[in-house]
Chain A
């Protein structure tokens, strides 16, 4: 995740002390993506070097007492980042997908059992998230949003497992495909 841009976002409303930034950062993402203090200050240093933020001159070291403020260049950078979709065109190298594909090649291994192991594990994780969200979400909007993101991500993985499970079951019932596989490499092209 981009600490850099998150910090710019925190500075966009008004100038803040280093300490304040660190605390806000921890409050908003804290439990979910713990971040060490050093990371906040080194990132501030780099942002200043790149002209995205300015600090008062009173102290040299970027530390808790220094005041930071966003520059015009910082605002442009932040705005661009907010509106640039992250690269989702290339499938990530998903370990679970690879495990399922590999299970197909191992004699004596039931791919359906492998799928079930992972499905159960993922649903258990989802149960834990739902409990946490149920306990916390009323008090903490950020946590609720992060919980939703996590739940939908896990949900999509379970749904993929379900789809793979039934696709494989159907394929096992049908006679093997005699057509040679086409050699075309397909790629998604997206406007970014």
Chain B
């Protein structure tokens, strides 16, 4: 069973003449442990795809399934619980709360979900440890570098039992080393079973994914496959 499934999802903003078609009859399925990168020009619907997949917005038509459950058949509270427990988000601008330490930021979603704060903080710290950020646990966001902040944001998105990670340009403002560190963390999370959908403009970073989906005008860009011969080429296979 796939972790996330979009079935014929369309999203229109506005109505009539001025309606914008942000997504159109989109199908996508992400399995457990799968790392999917989404690429495409500005305005092609990448962020819309993530917000709909994460139940932050509703599709105009079509259905989204998370862990097999159809979002349209869930009540408000169920959706909210799903967002708190099963889905982690990382946005381009970090969304760390400035008044909380790194560990407190990571623990926040657990606390919101009713985990006692001492316990939540413990889990937060061990998540930071897993991402090699243990020594930053007590730092406040303004005491962290951009790369560290983004890694903390990913820690927060992964804390607890989250199975689905949705990240919109998580490495947007980072240099290539930090960008790669972010991708490596997501890559490792996927090895432990998390399914991830990551939007990026950076081909280098997208190349960490198991699968790359290209969007164009709200649809998956369906160009024919490269003519065999070229597509048979593998690095190192043909000495040049």
Contacts and interface: CB of A to CB of B under 8 A. Distances in A.
Given A34-B239, A116-B214, A121-B231, A126 B207 contact: yes
B172 to A, nearest CB: 15
B66 interface: no
B216 A130 contact: no
Interface in B189-231: 201-204, 206-209, 212, 214, 216, 221, 223-226, 230-231
Contact of B235 (A116, A123, A132, A169): A132
Interface of B: 39, 41-42, 187, 201-204, 206-209, 212, 214, 216, 221, 223-226, 230-231, 233-236, 239-240
A16 B20 CA distance: 69
B204 A155 contact: yes
A123 B212 contact: yes
25 contacts: A113-B224, A117-B226, A119-B214, A120-B223, A120-B226, A121-B226, A121-B230, A122-B203, A123-B39, A123-B203, A123-B212, A125-B235, A126-B206, A127-B207, A127-B208, A127-B209, A127-B212, A128-B235, A129-B235, A132-B236, A134-B187, A151-B207, A152-B204, A155-B202, A162-B201
A155 B203 contact: yes
Contacts of B231: 121, 124
The 8 closest A-B pairs by CB, nearest first: A116-B223, A126-B207, A158-B203, A130-B207, A121-B226, A113-B223, A155-B204, A127-B207
B204 A126 contact: yes
A116 B224 CA distance: 9
Interface-centre pick from B41, B201, B209, B236 (highest chain A CB count, 10 A) = B236
B216 A123 contact: no
Contacts of A31: 236
Contacts of B203: 122-123, 126, 154-155, 158-159
Contacts of A134: 187
Nearest to A165: B41
A125 B239 CA distance: 15
Nearest to B187: A134
A34 to B, nearest CB: 5
Max chain B CB contacts within 10 Å: which of A114, A116, A165? Answer: A116
Contacts of B226: 117-118, 120-121
Contacts of A124: 212, 231
Interface in A106-165: 112-114, 116-130, 132, 134, 150-152, 154-155, 158-159, 162, 165
A168 B96 CA distance: 39
